[in-house]
Amino acid sequence: MATQTKVNGTSCPWRIYLYGAGFSASRHGVAAESLGRDIHLFAADPSKDAREAILAKFPKATVYEDAEAMLASSAGQQRDIVVVAVPPWLHHSATLSAFRSNRHVLCEKPVARSETEMAEMLAAADSAGRLFSECSFRYLGNGALDRARQLIETGGIGSLYHARFVNRQPRSRPGIEYQPHSRWFLEKDKSGGGTIFDWGVYDFTMFFDVLRPIAATVHRAWLATPRTGADPSEPAISVETHAGAAMSLTLRDGTVVAFDYERASGFHGEPEISLNVDGTTGGLTWEWVPTFDYKGEVDALEQGFKLVHYVDAKGIVEAKEDKFAAFGWEDANLRPLISFVDLIEGRESVALSRNSLEFNFAVVSAIYKSVSEGNPVHVRMNL
């Protein structure tokens, strides 16, 4: 249950402003309701259908056609959060407007389309003196990740030397097989990028939550857009649907870990999902995201997420399996706002800090930069 603070002698409830009123915004609205009874919910969207849908779901919400009017309706307070839940090409302008209104900002992923946009958004957060985060951490809060980090930090697999993440889905392209009505996913100027921006941001947030690197080098990277018979005639696909990178991650203790990364939403080949962390005395793999099969999601919730710890037992590889409480898509969609509130309140939170937000985005951007320039790209976290 949310608590209240005092501002000038009066109670100050949480006020949540949904910048956009589509599907993602509605999930954040449900999260807002979970904060407690005395929550004020606002939403703005130029679409009449979207406004009517949000009102049908949240009858007590105050709805606007114009987002600027919503933000100007009252002065910003410490417990005000603007949730930017519009397509990526609007994230930059929406975030700048939200910070000008003196409110904290939680932005949907991908947070920006370019390093320039990101730098301006971070500068706006600094100028406003408000917190800024984005939603790529919605799959954290998983005990398997915490256990993996603990095993690594306590020497449970020896010295790390290699990590591998592969997720190859032959036909799961946003804008075609998934959310076919949202063709903007296919246009780089609107989406910022393809499978790296759509799912890669989740991959890196998850992996970096476990390994906690302070620097990364993209040595080589590649992007591809295989064609299929299901491709639309309009718009032309200008984003990658298959990508990979050979990287190295520098951990806090100076260890350098080779990291092989591959992600595909559209290609011609065999599907594969593989996650490994290799050390000199053991290895790890774990589950971290609900299955896309809804029947399977129920099974996952019953069985829990699995972590496997591989060790040597007298010359034979022994697998030690642990299971942790799982969560479904609803839990994952509620996590961003709830965790961001925890961050604002100074409680323990999986919401990305300013440094992690900046570093993770820089690593994703480094993959594109390495491809365009044909050279290695190095990124270091601000500590």
What is the per-residue pLDDT across 232-253, written as a single tens digit (0 to 9) for each?
A: 999 999 999 999 999 999 999 9
Domain 143-328+336-380 has CATH 3.30.360.10: yes
Residue 60: C-alpha distances to residues 13, 37, 253, 346 (Å)? 15, 11, 51, 29
pLDDT at 58 over 60: yes
Can you say whether residue 225 is alpha, beta or left, with left for phi > 0 and alpha for psi between -120 and 50 degrees? beta
- Please measure the distance between the N-terminal and C-terminal CA atoms of the chain and give it in whole angstroms: 33
Whole-angstrom Cα distance, residue 306 to residue 320? 10
Query: Whose structure tokens read 């793999």?
Result: 285
In sequence order, the 6+-apart residues with CB closer than 8 A to the CB of 165 are 203, 207, 259, 260, 261, 262, 263, 274, 275
In contact, 376 and 370? CB cutoff 8 Å = yes
Class for domain 5-130, per CATH?
Answer: alpha beta
Query: In the chain, which segments carry CATH 3.30.360.10?
Result: 143-328+336-380
Among 270-274, 281-285, 292-296, the minimum mean pLDDT is found in 292-296
Q: HSE on the CB side for 71, CA within 13 Å? A: 23
Whole-angstrom Cα distance, residue 5 to residue 286? 40
What is the per-residue pLDDT across 286-341, written as a single tens digit (0 to 9) for each?
A: 999 875 443 444 444 556 899 999 999 999 999 999 999 888 888 999 999 999 99
Query: In the chain, which segments carry CATH 3.40.50.720?
Result: 5-130
Mean pLDDT of 122-144: 96
- pTM, to two decimals: 0.93
Whole-angstrom Cα distance, residue 339 to residue 346? 11
User: Could you tell me the two tokens for 208?
Assistant: 């970096």
What is the per-residue pLDDT across 153-170, written as a single tens digit (0 to 9) for each?
A: 999 999 999 999 999 999
